[in-house]
Amino acid sequence: MIDIWAYVEMAAGKVLRPSQEALSEAVRQGRQLRGRTTALVLGHGIPKEVLEAVGRYGPDRILLLDDELLSEYGTEPYAACIETLLQEHKPDAFLLGSSVVSRDLAPRLSARLKSSLVTEATFLNPQGGRWMVTRSAYRPHASMIVAPVDTGLQIITLAPKVMDAEEAGPADGLSIQALEGPQNLKGSHVRMEEEIREIPSQLDITDAEVIVAGGKGMQNEEGFALLDELAEVVGGTVGATRMAVDMKWRSRESMVGVTGKMVSPEVYIACGISGAIQHVMGMRSSQTILAVNTDPNAPIFRIATLGIVGDVREVLPVMIGSFREMKAKAGAQGVKA
């Protein structure tokens, strides 16, 4: 039976988006091929909620390796553990989402196990127990299809935000198996000195988890200052429509849409944006869309998860105030808002 593994990265008790994509694709392939899907989770003191969250994506089993030496990511112990597990269990494919960790792990594992590696996959086409993998070519607007030349494990990393992350629901008979690390597992030769967090408002919109976007309805540059304030308080990055960019209220780098950037954040807050198709095509895969518009018939409401019919100049100050209050309360209770 085909066995497809997905590597799970987590932070603050949550499965990270790249791993959601890898898990979902593994489950889609597994179900299509009537094979087995395995989620591989490494760490120390892994919270129950993470395992529940992993289960919701629908793998048939979760392999769990909990060891003090894995309490934070280190290339050497993580690569050693995964190499051993892949050698022992011999899955057909090992999928990883697009992340700094997968860029570190995948080539190392491929070299150690002498297995094929395809990076930045945009489509997986199963053929006779192997996968033909589509990825971008080494020039813009072109793709290539890569086929493995030998049998055995295929390691595949996914292109960011191409594959859907969807909770397929827990599989019948989901099993969770606790594993032991290799006998002689050693810690890392390096240790993390300090974690320096990026300032969300300075992130490129394609990397942002929260985008606060404005259109012509923001009226002017001062209107966009409200969006900067909202972005700061919700930890987001400001995006814009082509209209707003043409008005010079925002730079071209922040433009979302077919001629701008394709984005897929967890939350997209559309303010004073009508929802023209050229804009919507660039953001409709956002997980949650909140729209604020004075026109109840604005097309943006057709794709919004939540809509507020109102003037941005009235609604946004209230939202900013409420988020500030929530943050202050959470801070006072020692909770990260």
- Interface residues with ligand FAD (CB under 6 A) are 215-217, 241-244, 255-260, 272-274, 276, 278-279, 282, 292-295, 298, 311-313
Tokens 């299809």 correspond to 145
Tell me whether residue 234 or residue 280 sits nearer to ligand FAD (CB atom): 280
DSSP 8-class letter at 200: G
Give the up-direction half-sphere exposure of residue 77: CA atoms within 13 A in the CB hemisphere.
24
Residue 271 CB, nearest distance to ligand FAD (Å)?
7
> What is the per-residue burial (b if ≥16 Cβ within 10 Å, else e) of 83-93?
bbbbeeeebbb
Residue 322 CB, nearest distance to ligand FAD (Å)?
18
CA–CA dist 251, 118 (Å, integer): 35
- The answer to whether 226 and 250 are in contact (CB under 8 A) is no
Residue 211's nearest CA partner among 225, 201, 198, 199 is 201
Tell me whether residue 284 or residue 313 sits nearer to ligand FAD (CB atom): 313
Strand partners, 146: 133
Residue 283 CB, nearest distance to ligand FAD (Å)?
9
Residue 209 CB, nearest distance to ligand FAD (Å)?
21
Tell me whether residue 81 or residue 271 sits nearer to ligand FAD (CB atom): 271
Residue 248's nearest CA partner among 270, 218, 204, 272 is 218
**Degrees, nearest 5: CA angle 250-254-259:** 110
Residue 321 CB, nearest distance to ligand FAD (Å)?
17
Tell me whether residue 121 or residue 205 sits nearer to ligand FAD (CB atom): 205
Tell me whether residue 227 or residue 255 sits nearer to ligand FAD (CB atom): 255
Helix, strand, coil content of the chain in percent (nearest 5) = 35, 25, 40
Tell me whether residue 24 or residue 274 sits nearer to ligand FAD (CB atom): 274
Residue 315 CB, nearest distance to ligand FAD (Å)?
7
